[in-house]
Every structure is written in C-alpha cells, then in structure tokens.
C-alpha cells in the first residue's frame, strides 16, 4: 500500500532494536483517512473468507481492526488487557510478551462475543515476532471459533513472526513489509 509506505518513510522513526515509531498516524494519533484505506485494503484481501468477526488486541490494533470490520460489515472484538467488572468471570485469556512494553501482557476476551459459530480474521498494527497474534490465535481456539486469516498493517520480516504463524495454514496479509531497519534506515520488500 503506497500511501502507507510513504507515511512510514515521512513520519516513521527507527528507534533502534527493531522498534518503529508510527505514533503520529497509527499508534497514538490516528489518521482516520489513512486508517479507512488500511481497512479497505485488508477487507479486500479477505473478502471471500466468510469473516464473521474481526479480532484484535487492545489498543493499537483497534483502529485498523475497526476499519477492516466496517469494510467487511462485521463486528470487531478486541482483547482487553485488564478485566472490567462487566466481563464474565471466565473470559478466554492468554499472555503475550510485549516488545515495546518490555513485559508480558494478559489478553482477555468475553465468551459473550466470540464462539464456535465465528469465522475470525485477526488484525493488528504490527506483525513482528508474532507473539501477540499467536496469543490471539490461542484465544480463538479456546472459543472454538475458526481462524480464517491474519492481517497486519506493518510487517517486520526480520523478527520472524510470519514463520511462527505460517504453520496455522491461513492466509497472512501485510500492507507494508519492512525487510530491514539496520543503520537507521527503513527498507521495504519489493
């Protein structure tokens, strides 16, 4: 997706250690027009998968998941990082290490909103190590739902996430694929 790549090059900051700061348009401040394009692009790639729910992790995945779900005409469910009092006592839960937070985070989804009848598309802002998405996959399995695909706004191939997730046997689509962030540069796949 050319518009996304241009924004990454213009505003993204390579902070070293594989961390790409895109806070000005994806992670903290969200550019709604760009996010609508992102959602449409991901929806187009999974249009024929029979998606009934888009699932993501709180908080950075919500914007792209919401616009993807909107384009597909289905609900979005996000895994919470803490249990509100309104959530049933036995949510689906898993834990994933967070590269940017430097610790593990718990992910929780209410069984009220995810079940065996659902065909799930996982959407997240980044596909890096794949650990957050793998935790979401385990939650989808706990619910008895069917995983039909994985979509990411930005993929960093050098962190191995795709290799971790490929054995799942579902399509994995990324809109901007970064192959290297060495020496302060940001290099995309052709």
pLDDT-based confidence at 190, cuts 50/70/90? confident
- Asked whether 164 and 58 are in contact (CB, 8 A), the reply is no
| Widest Cα–Cα separation across the chain | 48
74: Cβ contacts below 8 Å, ≥ 6 apart: 51, 52, 53, 54
Could you list the residue range(s) of the whole structural domain that residue 172 is in?
A: 2-188
Structural domains counted in the chain: 1
The single-letter DSSP state of residue 21 is: E
pLDDT of residue 82: 87
pLDDT-based confidence at 111, cuts 50/70/90? very high
pTM of the model: 0.95
The single-letter DSSP state of residue 27 is: I
pLDDT of residue 166: 98
- Give the CATH number for residue 38: 3.40.50.2020
Q: 26: how many CB neighbours lie within 10 A of its CB?
A: 27
Query: What is the chain's mean pLDDT, rounded?
Result: 95
pLDDT of residue 88: 87
Of 9-18, 88-97, 102-111, 146-155, highest mean pLDDT: 146-155
pLDDT of residue 97: 86
pLDDT-based confidence at 43, cuts 50/70/90? very high
- Proportion of the chain above pLDDT 90, given as a percent: 87
pLDDT of residue 103: 85
Does residue 98 have a pLDDT over 80? no
Q: Which of 28 and 100 is assigned the larger pLDDT?
A: 28
pLDDT of residue 100: 64
pLDDT-based confidence at 51, cuts 50/70/90? very high
Minimum mean pLDDT among 68-72, 80-84, 114-118: which range?
Answer: 80-84
């Amino acid at each position: 997706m050319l518009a996304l790549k241009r924004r990454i090059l213009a505003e993204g900051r390579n902070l070293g250690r594989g961390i790409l700061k895109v806070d000005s348009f994806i992670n903290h401040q969200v550019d709604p027009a760009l996010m609508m394009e992102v959602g449409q692009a991901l929806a187009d790639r999974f249009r024929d998968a029979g998606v009934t729910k888009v699932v993501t992790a709180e908080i950075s995945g919500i914007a792209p998941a919401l616009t993807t779900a909107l384009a597909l005409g289905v609900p979005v469910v996000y895994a919470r990082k803490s249990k509100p009092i309104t959530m049933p006592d036995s949510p689906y839960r898993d834990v994933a290490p967070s590269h940017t937070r430097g610790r593990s985070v718990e992910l929780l989804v209410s069984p009220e909103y995810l079940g065996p009848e659902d065909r799930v598309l996982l959407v997240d802002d980044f596909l890096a190590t794949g650990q957050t998405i793998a935790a979401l996959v385990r939650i989808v399995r706990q619910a008895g739902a069917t995983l039909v695909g994985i979509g990411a706004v930005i993929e960093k191939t050098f962190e191995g996430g795709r290799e971790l997730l490929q054995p799942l046997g579902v399509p994995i689509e990324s809109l901007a694929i970064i192959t290297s962030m060495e020496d302060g540069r940001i290099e995309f796949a052709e």
